[in-house]
Amino acid sequence: MHNSTDTTEQSYHYGVIKRAIELIDADGADLSLEDLSDAMGMSAAHFQRLFSAWVGVSPKRYQQYLRLGHAKSLLQHRFTTLDAAHAVGLSGSGRLHDLFVRWEAMSPGDFARRGAGLRISWGWFDSPFGLALVMGTEKGICGMAFAAETGAEPAMADMRSRWPDADYVEDPTALRPMVDAAFAQRGETALHLIGAPLQIKVWEALLRIPSGHVSTYSEIAQSIGSPKAVRAVGTAVGRNPVSWLIPCHRALRKSGALGGYHWGLPVKRAMLAYEAARDDGQRGGMA
């Protein structure tokens, strides 16, 4: 199924992040390194190393990114307007950190066939956000699901239901180069967008939101020329089949509320915190 040693290590990391979120929410005030490490049942030095390896900043500093109110701060300081980047989206390529992403969309006619005649490889992989199910065609990654909150079997059933007539083959080896590049955020990977025309427009808009930044559902609706279709846009964001790489976690409500997340809100919060912390680390300071 998957490499149990690597998966155990990364799932453990995500488990620590999840517990840290729960502690921070329950306490309300900043917790010291000793408070956090004691609550996790590990030494302060080990806890510090684990956090720094995971995201590149200290646990004390990372609390600022994990807080529920951080989404509002992101909207104030890291909001992205997508209209100016419209031409970039049409090129079918973009950059996330040091990862170059190419994408190609399936034709509406092929999508209507519900995956019939399509060979989809799949495998379970280690990720910074726990166990990940990745699916791909010969053209690129078409599915990415995170099972930490939902469980493995529901994640698999969810993804297969999107293209029910496809031929599914377990083949992690075929996917590994693209997956390794995706999670390392370095090199190059390809995406195969399989969805209805409106969904693909929304997913292409999401691909234009830079890492460490956020946008809103209404801004995305505006950028695709359907300003009144905010609810439909929200549904399309929620149906994004390639989480993390098509960054639906960067879509927030105008109020600063997180909105929903298909694979669980703790995963969305961890992703936003991870990206903001890495972005600030590269800039050398907090926003």
Q: What is the DSSP letter of 131?
A: -
Q: Show Cβ contacts of residue 239 under 8 Å, excluding neighbours closer than 6 positions.
A: 162, 195, 199, 262
Count of positions (residues) in the chain: 287
Cβ–Cβ under 8 Å, residues 253 and 132: no
CA angle 210, 257, 193 (to 5 degrees): 45
9 forms beta bridges with: none
* 280 DSSP assignment: H
248 is catalytic: yes
Q: What is the CB neighbour count within 10 angstroms for residue 227?
A: 12
Q: How many CB atoms lie within 10 A of CB 183?
A: 21
Task: Report how far residue 59's alpha carbon sits from residue 36's, in angstroms, rounded to the nearest whole number.
Answer: 8
CB 211 within 8 A of CB 96: yes
Active-site residue (options: 24, 155, 248, 276): 248
Q: Closest Cα to residue 220, out of 111, 95, 79?
A: 79
Nearest one of 251, 235, 239, 244 to 159, comparing CA atoms: 239
Q: What is the chain's percent helix, strand, coil content, to nearest 5?
A: 50, 20, 30
Which residues are identified as catalytic? 248
